[in-house]
Amino acid sequence: MAVVQFDVDNGIGTIRLDRPPMNVIDSQVTGELRAAAGEATARTDVRAVVIYGGPKVFAAGADVKEMAPMGHAEILAWVSDLTTTFEELARIPKPVVAAVTGYALGGGLELALCADFRVFGDNVKVGLPEILLGIIPGAGGTQRLPRLIGAAKAKDLVFTGRQVRAAEAKEIGLADRVVAPDDVYTEARSLAGRFVDGPAVALRAAKRAIDDGLSGGLSEGLRLETAIFTGLFGTQDQRIGMESFLERGPGKADFVGR
């Protein structure tokens, strides 16, 4: 039985974890997440994506029962597969919003960190508790989290393994919006919906420029930005956007996504 669903409605694709009760991430979840990322990337009718765990919990972490008996070679293959999957989710060339309810711990928080934006319910608890198991986060937690909230704040969460509530998550920049639990998915769709009619090629380019630019120095990032910027000239959306601006002013273009 499938444990990850992918549905499309009005240009928004929803990647829904469905492994009750806690959406623990095992090998099956990993494989199906990777397939969903590929579908979200390939489908032209998908203009933005929401990652959602359902109304009660986002994902309570990786499957410790599956990991515990593994030796070095086995865990290397297991975590490499998970890391590759999360990288494919992070590289979906469209705006991605994580809709987080209940718990997002360990691998669950690492999954949420793959999104461009995060909407939290006001009752959530998130954290990276791996240190309490005698290990460290292994699927992006030590890399994506400090890039998002800064090294010192990330070290606090990683070194202690403590759980953070929604208010603190918002304060440190881990959550972009905090709403009532019942409103999380609706709010995430609303946020994603802002991009559905936007210039898809330029949005893809902007995401690549920011994400890839962060992996190098400023000079390298500026060169990348210049190359991506000039590459957009000649696209239909660039012509439409500039012609619309000259004729009608900003914010009135009807983009076609090409």
Catalytic residue ranges: 62, 107, 110, 130
Amino acid at 120: F
12 DSSP β-pair partners: 9, 48
Q: How far apart are the C-alpha atoms of 41 and 37, rounded to whole Å?
A: 6
Cβ–Cβ under 8 Å, residues 12 and 192: yes
Q: Is 198 left (phi over 0), alpha (psi -120 to 50) or beta?
A: beta
Q: Is 180 left (phi over 0), alpha (psi -120 to 50) or beta?
A: beta
How far is residue 135 from each of residues 29, 129, 142, 159, 161, measured CA to CA in Å? Answer: 22, 9, 12, 10, 11
Residues 6+ apart with CB under 8 A from 237: 199, 200, 201, 202, 253, 255, 256, 257, 258
